[in-house]
Amino acid sequence: MKSKILILLVILLITASTICYADESSSGQYTTVVDESGTPVYMTGWKMRAGDEVLTENNRRYEVVRVEGNTAHAKFIGEINLSLYDQENTGIIARLQALLQPAIARAEGNGKVAVYHTHSDESYVPTDGKESILGAGGIYKVGNAFMSSLEKKGVTVIHSEAKHDPHDDMAYERSRRTALNLIKKEQPDAVFDIHRDAVPPQVYKTSLNGEDVSKIQLVVGKYGPTGKQIEDYALQIKAASDKQHPGLVKGVFFAKGGDYNQDLHPRSMLLEVGAHTNDRESAEKGIALFADVVPAILGKSSAPTGPNAAGTTGAAGNTGLGSAAGGASGATKAMGWMLGLLVAGIAAFLFLSTGSFKEAGAKLKNFASTEFTNFLGPKAKKRRDTQPDSSQSEKEGDNK
């Protein structure tokens, strides 16, 4: 019996490893997504399958229904209202989270980000001379630019330069060990796996703040139990980015058959920064702008670094509870995690039972105004009924 169970587990593991990743196309091969009229609406180096979805730069969502060669035919699902994912405007749930934020923040720490590169060979032809440099890709310098920009905002960054060559889908299995080590050792607030895409240069090329920069694509693996959570996280990122730097995020690719190690952390995201046809400097400028978004999506305030940073919030200079200097007590951490899990559980239950943040907020509001009041009503009445009459008490006192 035990041997049969073992064989079944092996089969399941083998099966999972064959379906949990969508393929990234080789250079010169990319997918064009067209709508029902045949008009191109999206382009990426990822190979697509029926069931994959994309969110365009202008927040129109499409689902791939069939693939013919390098063309993915998609149906229009609808326009996504990203204001529902704006962390500054998510109604009663956000207010409840804000109420508990001090305890949760003390438990989480001061804002720490982990960065690594599954495809460590990826490079930028105009700058690096070739599209692939084993173990020393130009993508590392893009990661360094991201780290430098975040550190200026007071965010602590751990940038892993671990190598995961060769460039194949099994690289995600090799980089999984890197991600696990980063998460266990550093306990980051967010994890970013930084790549570059493989499409013509105009797909990512744009001008922001008077400079030529490369856009960024978010990639979400919808395979596995955390797919919906990561999807919502990606929409939160795009909402924040659209507010600070409109046009920086070119869109989101939702891979039905991928997970990309995003099951390891609730704030894990794969970023495509430009393409191999863009110059690396523009990619570095693009990721530097994206760094402006990170404190907002982490719920942290940006803080300057240096000797004059004392007393500020963020990763540097915070000498309050939960900082490296002050340290959070075990009881504080436990309470923070308990409150955090409670909020997450309530939010998740309401979202799953209603299907949208808007309806979840309405349901919670109804509970607070009706159900909770009804619950307290009988208790208050019972206390009034059992409270002794003051005149009767005075009479009993006189008899004593």
Please tell me the predicted confidence (pLDDT) of residue 347: 64
If asked whether residues 230 and 365 sit together in one domain, one would say: no
Confidence bin at 198 (pLDDT 50/70/90) = very high
Residue 230, domain member (yes or no): yes
Report the number of distinct structural domains present in the chain.
2
Please tell me the predicted confidence (pLDDT) of residue 29: 87
CA dihedral 238→240→242→246, nearest 10 degrees, is -120
Contacts for 87-95 with beta carbons within 8 Å, 24 or more apart?
87/236, 87/239, 87/240, 87/296, 87/297, 87/299, 90/357, 90/361, 91/357, 91/358, 91/361, 91/365, 92/361, 92/364, 92/365, 92/368, 93/346, 93/347, 93/350, 93/357, 93/360, 93/361, 93/364
Query: Which residues lie across from 273 on neighbouring strands?
Result: 216
Neighbours of 134 (CB within 10 A): 12
CA distance linking residue 81 with residue 325, whole number of Å: 41
**Which of 30-39, 108-117, 132-141 has the least mean pLDDT?**
108-117
Helices (H), 41-162: 91-108, 125-128, 139-152
Most trustworthy range by pLDDT among 144-148, 209-213, 339-343: 144-148
CA distance linking residue 344 with residue 233, whole number of Å: 13
CA distance linking residue 287 with residue 127, whole number of Å: 16
If asked whether residues 277 and 364 sit together in one domain, one would say: no
CA distance linking residue 75 with residue 289, whole number of Å: 32
If asked whether residues 102 and 128 sit together in one domain, one would say: no
If asked whether residues 174 and 285 sit together in one domain, one would say: yes
Confidence bin at 293 (pLDDT 50/70/90) = very high
Tokens 């064009």 belong to residue = 32
Q: What does the angle CA 154 – CA 185 – CA 173 come to, to the nearest 5 degrees?
A: 110
If asked whether residues 132 and 225 sit together in one domain, one would say: yes
CB 171 within 8 A of CB 145: no
If asked whether residues 104 and 194 sit together in one domain, one would say: no
Confidence bin at 3 (pLDDT 50/70/90) = low
Q: What is the mean pLDDT of residues 171-177?
A: 97
**Domain that residue 101 falls in:** 88-108+332-369
Q: What is the DSSP letter of 223?
A: S
Please tell me the predicted confidence (pLDDT) of residue 166: 94
If asked whether residues 143 and 102 sit together in one domain, one would say: no
CATH number of the domain encompassing residue 131 = 3.40.630.40
If asked whether residues 133 and 92 sit together in one domain, one would say: no
CA R_g for the chain = 25
If asked whether residues 134 and 95 sit together in one domain, one would say: no
Residue 363, domain member (yes or no): yes
| Distance set, CA 273 to CA 48, 98, 385 (Å) | 19, 32, 68
pLDDT value at 327 more than 90: no
If asked whether residues 130 and 103 sit together in one domain, one would say: no
If asked whether residues 173 and 195 sit together in one domain, one would say: yes
If asked whether residues 174 and 275 sit together in one domain, one would say: yes
